[in-house]
């Protein structure tokens, strides 16, 4: 294997709110890439950091009655502290308020300006303060920003612009001739389709009259640079551009990792900025999808913003890392729920991996007192007993998937080996072999193969679960060459590394099973302790979807109980000139005589349904209040059949 220098980056995160699950994922995904590359004998450099200038930060600081710098210091600290907590092994943490970074941004701006790719012009446009950018009409949805659902403000001002269109053909050509530039493929397609439209020039400044919290333009004291021109440059300023040693070693062998939200700045602005500044283009961009939580986009208003610290404290770090990396198909969105997390912990970690490990080591202690036996010659070539081919297959499949960030496939390859070994134990039945002295040599061969197989498993899980890998290696009594904490892939491959006569330790429990019943109560208690339970809110719908529901005022004409049902009442209601029968589950709260003459709200266009043999032509609305149903109505009398909006 040849050693290469490889540079990995996360986006630098905005400091307008504390880190959540999404930020933790990208940092862990890049950590996995970096650790895997170390196993491939590459020399790596891993950069992450915080993006600290711009309107958003000023606004967040104002809300807390503090200065932007003090606010940025406070939130950046949270991002920095999260890294060791998640076992993220970054080599550097950059802040865009670092003086060295500021110098490089000004240097790049000056060279692009000198080249004539930046010009000054007056501009009027629709500006979204949330996104900190101007919008074209065609990008708006019903006149509103698609991300913030707010109407942009009309702003007229003179600004500096970066000419991008002249580089458009070059970029299209670069993307097409470098199929690994954007991964996975669907995002390459997305970018190329965006590049079919002429590229508009990018506004790269803000007048200081409107924003002072930014880097001053080197060619105009009255302006600061717009956030992207500042933020993207972090990737080279962190390496000491233009002549730092790290820059010489690691640029441009770079893979940037981002989620799909910032593919345009990374896939379009950044390569064009580099090209214009005469700097080599980075090697590639890896784009992942979004984590939703319980099926919805994380948002403060829904109350589902997930704190990675809370999840880790409750379920353990390696379990959390494993879940994130196994569950998300890199490139697609994934859904985070505690139920999914618990089920993966119980099945993949406690059952498959944990059981395999404790079964093998317990048998090793039971039958061989924890000493590695030697393998008799007659069994060295016994294909039925030899697990080496399966281990080799797993390593190869793992390497080819991990190299392209298909993490879920890489892990599946390891779990195939684990399942194979669990089946192998059942077929070889060491407990039967142990009963007969004549089978001692075969039992030893089975044991050696199992120990060797689990050695490979321990090595391969290192990027995803470094702590578990360490514990497994220690238990197996392995000493990793050069005092490293991982085996390279080349070191892992050779079969028969557990020297005969060496000792293993008795196994502990790698992953305790989570009792789902207990976990539920425990979960409720933790949630209550941390934050009050919020009312559950379902997925958002558009106004068009809502307008499909025909809600009407209605008056109850008569009501009676439904035979054999303690819950249902049969109501005859008047909806305008129409009479309808509706079955409502309110018998426990309302008696029939309470209801006659009452005005209610009915969903009038619901497909008729049969309940206990009775037809229901609509549904009456009621609130669920502590398991008690309370009918929704009006605070004054209204005409029946009126639409309710
Ligand atoms: N500051 C810019 C990036 C500048 S990079 C030169 C920014 N910051 S951010 O705080 O909004 O971070 C966005 C990134 O955080 C995403 O690209 C992704 O890496 C991560 N995630 C934020 N929310 C996420 C999910 N819900 N799911 C997965 N990752 C997410 O944009």
Residue 531, pLDDT > 90, answer no
Q: What is the pLDDT of residue 37?
A: 98
Strands (DSSP E) contained in 244-382 are: 254-259, 284-288, 291-293, 296-297, 334-336
Residue 527, pLDDT > 50, answer no
- Closest ligand 1 atom number to CA of residue 13: 10
Residue 520, pLDDT > 70, answer no
Q: Which residue's CA is minimally distant from atom 9 of ligand 1?
A: 13
How far apart (Å, rounded) are the C-alpha atoms in residues 588 and 561?
Answer: 11
Q: Which residue's CA is minimally distant from atom 22 of ligand 1?
A: 22
Instruction: Give percent above pLDDT 70 in the chain.
Output: 95
Distance of CA 317 to CAs 251, 309, 312, 367, 508, Å?
Answer: 32, 9, 5, 33, 17
Q: What is the pLDDT of residue 590?
A: 87
Tokens of 389: 């081919």
pLDDT digit string, tens, across residues 556-602: 999 999 888 888 999 999 998 889 999 998 998 888 888 988 999 99
262 lines ligand 1 (CB under 6 A): yes
622-625 and 628-631 beta bridge pairing: antiparallel
* Nearest CA among 235, 185, 215, 100 for reference residue 405: 185
Query: Max CA-CA distance within the chain?
Result: 95
Q: Which residue's CA is minimally distant from atom 21 of ligand 1?
A: 22
Distance of CA 151 to CAs 133, 391, 476, Å?
Answer: 13, 58, 62
CA 285 to chain centroid, in Å, comes to: 16
293 lines ligand 1 (CB under 6 A): no
Residue 117, pLDDT > 70, answer yes
- Centre of ligand 1 from the C-alpha of residue 257, in Å: 10
Are 440 and 367 contacting, i.e. CB atoms less than 8 angstroms apart? Answer: no
DSSP string computed for 2-56: ---EEEEEEEEEESSS---HHHHHHHHHHHHHHHHHHHTT-EEEEEEEEE--SHH
Q: What is the pLDDT of residue 521?
A: 52
pLDDT digit string, tens, across residues 364-422: 999 999 999 998 888 888 888 999 999 999 999 999 999 999 999 999 999 999 999 99
Residue 608, pLDDT > 90, answer no
Residue 500, pLDDT > 70, answer yes
Q: What is the pLDDT of residue 494?
A: 96
Distance of CA 356 to CAs 223, 381, 456, Å?
Answer: 63, 24, 13
- Centre of ligand 1 from the C-alpha of residue 54, in Å: 16
Mean pLDDT, rounded, for 534-563: 76
Nearest 10 degrees: Cα torsion 419, 420, 421, 427: 110
Note if the pTM is more than 0.75.
yes
Q: What is the pLDDT of residue 39?
A: 98
How far apart (Å, rounded) are the C-alpha atoms in residues 436 and 277?
Answer: 76
- Closest ligand 1 atom number to CA of residue 11: 5
Instruction: Give percent above pLDDT 90 in the chain.
Output: 78
Contacts of 112 (CB under 8 A, 6+ apart): 118, 162, 273, 276, 277
Backbone angles phi, psi at 462, to 5 degrees: -55, -50
264 lines ligand 1 (CB under 6 A): no
- Centre of ligand 1 from the C-alpha of residue 248, in Å: 28
Residue 220, pLDDT > 80, answer yes
- Centre of ligand 1 from the C-alpha of residue 185, in Å: 20
Tokens of 543: 């106004």
Are 105 and 237 contacting, i.e. CB atoms less than 8 angstroms apart? Answer: yes
Neighbours of 272 (CB within 10 A): 25
Mean pLDDT, rounded, for 165-181: 97
- Closest ligand 1 atom number to CA of residue 234: 6
298 lines ligand 1 (CB under 6 A): yes
11 lines ligand 1 (CB under 6 A): yes
Are 520 and 369 contacting, i.e. CB atoms less than 8 angstroms apart? Answer: no
Q: Which residue's CA is minimally distant from atom 30 of ligand 1?
A: 22
Strands (DSSP E) contained in 318-358 are: 334-336
Mean pLDDT, rounded, for 480-489: 94
13 lines ligand 1 (CB under 6 A): yes
Catalytic residues: 20, 23, 128, 131, 145, 148, 297, 300
- Centre of ligand 1 from the C-alpha of residue 173, in Å: 28
- Centre of ligand 1 from the C-alpha of residue 258, in Å: 7
Confidence of residue 123 (pLDDT cuts 50, 70, 90): confident
258 lines ligand 1 (CB under 6 A): yes
Residue 518, pLDDT > 70, answer no
pLDDT digit string, tens, across residues 48-105: 999 999 988 999 999 999 999 999 999 999 999 999 999 999 999 999 999 999 999 9
Mutate to test the pocket of ligand 1, among 14, 20, 23, 311 (most ligand atoms within 8 A of CB): 23
Q: Edge to edge, what strands does the sheet with 220-225 contain?
A: 205-207, 220-225, 216-217
For all residues of the chain together, what is the average pLDDT? 92
pLDDT digit string, tens, across residues 13-41: 999 999 999 999 999 999 999 999 999 99
Residue with tokens 């514990």: 471
H-state helical runs in 179-305: 185-194, 227-231, 234-237, 245-250, 263-264, 270-277
Confidence of residue 499 (pLDDT cuts 50, 70, 90): very high
Neighbours of 148 (CB within 10 A): 12
Residue 205, pLDDT > 60, answer yes
- Centre of ligand 1 from the C-alpha of residue 11, in Å: 6
Q: Which residue's CA is minimally distant from atom 7 of ligand 1?
A: 13
- Centre of ligand 1 from the C-alpha of residue 156, in Å: 29
- Closest ligand 1 atom number to CA of residue 261: 17
Q: What is the pLDDT of residue 173?
A: 98
22 lines ligand 1 (CB under 6 A): yes
Strands (DSSP E) contained in 63-117 are: 92-95
Q: What is the pLDDT of residue 525?
A: 43
Confidence of residue 529 (pLDDT cuts 50, 70, 90): very low
Q: Which residue's CA is minimally distant from atom 5 of ligand 1?
A: 11
Residue 430, pLDDT > 70, answer yes
Q: What is the pLDDT of residue 547?
A: 82
Mean pLDDT, rounded, for 109-124: 96
């Amino acid at each position: 294997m040849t050693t290469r220098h490889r540079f990995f980056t996360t986006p630098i995160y905005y400091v307008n709110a504390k880190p959540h699950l999404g930020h933790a994922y990208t940092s862990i995904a890049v950590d996995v890439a970096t650790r895997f590359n170390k196993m491939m004998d590459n020399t790596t450099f891993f950069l992450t950091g915080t993006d600290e200038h711009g309107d958003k930060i000023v606004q967040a600081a104002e809300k807390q009655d503090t200065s932007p710098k003090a606010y940025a210091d406070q939130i950046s600290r949270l991002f920095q502290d999260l890294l060791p907590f998640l076992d993220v092994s970054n080599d550097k943490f950059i802040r865009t308020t670092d003086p060295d970074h500021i110098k490089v941004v000004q240097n790049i701006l000056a060279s692009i300006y000198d080249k004539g790719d930046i010009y000054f012009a007056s501009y009027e446009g629709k500006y979204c303060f949330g996104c900190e950018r101007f919008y074209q009409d065609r990008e708006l949805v019903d006149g509103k920003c698609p991300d913030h659902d707010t109407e942009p403000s009309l702003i007229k001002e003179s600004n500096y612009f970066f000419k991008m269109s002249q580089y458009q053909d070059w970029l299209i050509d670069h993307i097409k001739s470098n199929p690994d530039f954007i991964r996975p493929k669907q995002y390459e397609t997305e970018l190329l389709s965006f590049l079919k439209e002429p590229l508009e020039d990018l506004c790269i400044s803000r007048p200081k009259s409107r924003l002072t919290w930014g880097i001053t333009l080197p060619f105009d004291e009255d302006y600061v640079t717009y956030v992207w021109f500042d933020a993207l440059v972090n990737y080279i300023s962190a390496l000491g551009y233009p002549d730092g040693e790290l820059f010489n070693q690691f640029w441009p062998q770079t893979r940037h990792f981002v989620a799909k939200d910032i593919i345009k700045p990374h896939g379009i602005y950044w390569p064009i900025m580099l090209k214009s500044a005469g700097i080599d283009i980075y090697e590639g961009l890896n784009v992942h999808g979004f984590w939703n939580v319980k099926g919805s986009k994380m948002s403060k208003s829904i109350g589902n913003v997930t704190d990675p610290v809370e999840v880790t404290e409750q379920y353990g770090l390696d379990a959390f890392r494993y879940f994130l990396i196994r569950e998300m198909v890199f490139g697609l969105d994934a859904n985070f729920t505690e139920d999914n997390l618990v089920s993966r912990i119980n099945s993949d970690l406690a059952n498959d991996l944990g059981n395999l490990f404790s079964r093998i080591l317990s048998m090793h202690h039971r039958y061989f007192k924890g000493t590695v036996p030697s393998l008799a010659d007659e069994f060295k070539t016994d294909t039925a007993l030899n697990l080496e081919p399966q281990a080799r297959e797993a390593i190869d499949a793992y390497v080819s998937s991990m190299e392209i960030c298909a993490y879920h496939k890489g892990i599946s390859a390891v779990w195939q080996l684990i399942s194979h070994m669990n089946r192998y134990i059942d077929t070889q039945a060491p407990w039967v072999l142990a009963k007969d002295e004549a089978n001692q040599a075969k039992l030893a061969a089975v044991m050696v193969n199992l120990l060797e197989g689990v050695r490979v498993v321990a090595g391969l899980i290192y990027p995803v679960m470094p702590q578990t890998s360490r514990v497994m290696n220690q238990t197996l009594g392995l000493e990793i060459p050069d005092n490293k904490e991982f085996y390279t892939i080349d070191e892992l491959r050779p079969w028969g590394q557990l020297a005969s006569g060496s000792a293993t330790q008795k196994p502990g429990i790698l992953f305790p099973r989570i009792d789902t019943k207990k976990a539920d109560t425990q979960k409720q208690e933790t949630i209550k302790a941390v934050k009050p339970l919020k009312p559950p809110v379902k997925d958002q719908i558009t106004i068009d979807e809502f307008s499909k529901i025909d809600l009407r005022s209605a008056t109850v004409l008569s009501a009676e109980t439904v035979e054999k049902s303690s819950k249902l009442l049969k109501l005859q209601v008047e909806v305008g000139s129409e009479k309808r029968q509706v079955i409502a589950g309110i018998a426990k709260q309302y008696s029939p005589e309470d209801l006659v003459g009452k005005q209610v709200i009915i969903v009038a266009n619901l497909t008729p349904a049969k309940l206990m043999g009775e037809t229901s032509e609509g549904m009456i609305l009621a609130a669920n209040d502590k398991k008690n149903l309370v009918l929704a109505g009006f605070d004054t009398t209204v005409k029946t059949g009126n639409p309710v909006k």
